[in-house]
Structure 1
């Protein structure tokens, strides 16, 4: 039974109980009315308990699914970052900490631009502004500068995160290290 139907049924039963309590003399004349209302209340309580159990099971299933997706995100072989629309890092996976050469606790809250080579800052801001105006999947190549490490050309895929009103609220970044690709190609040669 749907929640709205259950609420309507409970309201109807409450009205009947109110009517009975105001006309308690009627109970003496019609005890089967009280019995019927109590039976309906009992059924309604059982239905609510079943719905609560079903909701609890659904909640547990959703929690497990969230944990699975979190594990997929965390253990992905490529660097994944989530930023706000200004490029401030909110989340990263293990590969993200490795590629930027900084522990997670020092990455979260930092603008991604500090990991972009200074010569690419203007390009980064231009593309970020374009992404804010036209939020759609974009692929970039960008010179990244990890902490205490050499810069490298990265392939980046950025996808928008939108709320239920289709408003841009964040960005998902997939960062691929082209040095690994170059090594693989070199090994094939």
Structure 2
């Protein structure tokens, strides 16, 4: 259930409770139990209303935060894509996860043919052993490192 529907249902419950209370007060023979029950229901209804308002406020804050995070994510995505240098994002094993436009241009390979491939395939044969050694050291390290 979304928050708007919940708010509408809580408001409808409040209106129905008010109506029932007014009708109960109009009855000729009143017992003390009925007014007490309505007071307790009214108190519960107020708590639901307050909780609803808090949920609504939290939902609005979450929406604003999500929009802010999405804007930041897009900003950094744009910086990555438009960077003048080629960047490859890999996993710890050296398998390419992402490539920016400059990397695609530099390697002359479409992105769909880069992603999922091991980076070693794009390293000149004469330096592959050194590169593998660097990659193995990187895999043992707990920090991110830039390989140039």
Same fold, TM-score > 0.5, yes or no: yes
The CA distance in 1 between the partners of 2:140 and 2:65, in whole Å, is 38
SS at match of 1:79: coil
Unpaired runs of at least 5, structure 2: 1-30
Name whichever structure is richer in helix by fraction: 2
Change (3 A) 1:95 1:33: same
Q: In structure 2, which of residues 42, 63, 72 is the aligned counterpart of residue 56 of structure 1?
A: 63
1:28 corresponds to 2:42: no
Q: In structure 2, which of residues 83, 88, 92 is the aligned counterpart of residue 76 of structure 1?
A: 83
* Cα distance per residue 1:100-133 (max 9 Å; x no partner): 1211111111111111111111111111111112
The CA distance in 2 between the partners of 1:114 and 1:130, in whole Å, is 19
List structure 1 segments (4+ residues) > 3 angstroms apart after TM superposition. 135-138
Unpaired runs of at least 5, structure 1: 1-24, 139-156, 159-174, 176-189
The 5-angstrom pairing of residues 31-180 of structure 1 reads: 31-136=38-143, 138=145, 157-158=146-147, 175=148
Offset at 1:137?
Answer: 5.4
User: What is the aligned-residue RMSD (CA, Å)?
Assistant: 1.9
Change (3 A) 1:68 1:34: same
Normalised by the length of structure 2, the TM-score is 0.71
Normalised by the length of structure 1, the TM-score is 0.57
Offset at 1:27?
Answer: 4.9
The CA distance in 2 between the partners of 1:26 and 1:61, in whole Å, is 54
Offset at 1:82?
Answer: 0.6
Structure with higher Rg: it is 2
Aligned residues: 117
